[in-house]
Amino acid sequence: MSFLLPCPNCGPRPVDEFSCAGEVTVRPQGAPSLRELTSYLYFKRNVAGVQREWWCHRLGCEAWFTAERDTRTNEVLSIDVPEPAGPAAPDAPPLPDTPAV
């Protein structure tokens, strides 16, 4: 079903204007093993229910944001614009969630 997605800048727009970068994942920290890296890269939760995911308003203002969407009905519950991650200092706290692209 086509649906509207609320862009943080442009308001509700048809989903065809956006590109979806998949569910929000957590990047492994430190020196991950091959299994940790490949799990992060390839394996997905693919939930049937509410999922937090990355979107970009590709054919509009090109803003990146996260949305909570119910994958069973495509109802968008909320959106959020995360702060940019910035360069990580050696003793920095863990990185925020990053898109799996």
Site residues for another protein per CB under 8 A: 1-2, 14-16, 19-20, 22-23, 34-35, 37-39, 41-46, 48, 51, 53, 71-74
For the CB of residue 8, give the shortest distance to another protein in the complex, in Å. 18
Tokens of 39: 């799990």
- Which residue's CB is nearer to another protein, number 1 or number 89? 1
- Residue among 46 and 91 whose Cβ is closer to another protein: 46
- The residues near 39 (Cβ < 8 Å, ≥ 6 apart) are none
CB of 92 to another protein, least distance (A): 28
Quote the least distance from Cβ 77 to another protein, whole Å.
15
C-beta of residue 5 within 8 angstroms of C-beta of residue 67: yes
Nearest to 84 by CA among 94, 98, 101: 98
Bridge partners of 79, per DSSP, are 67
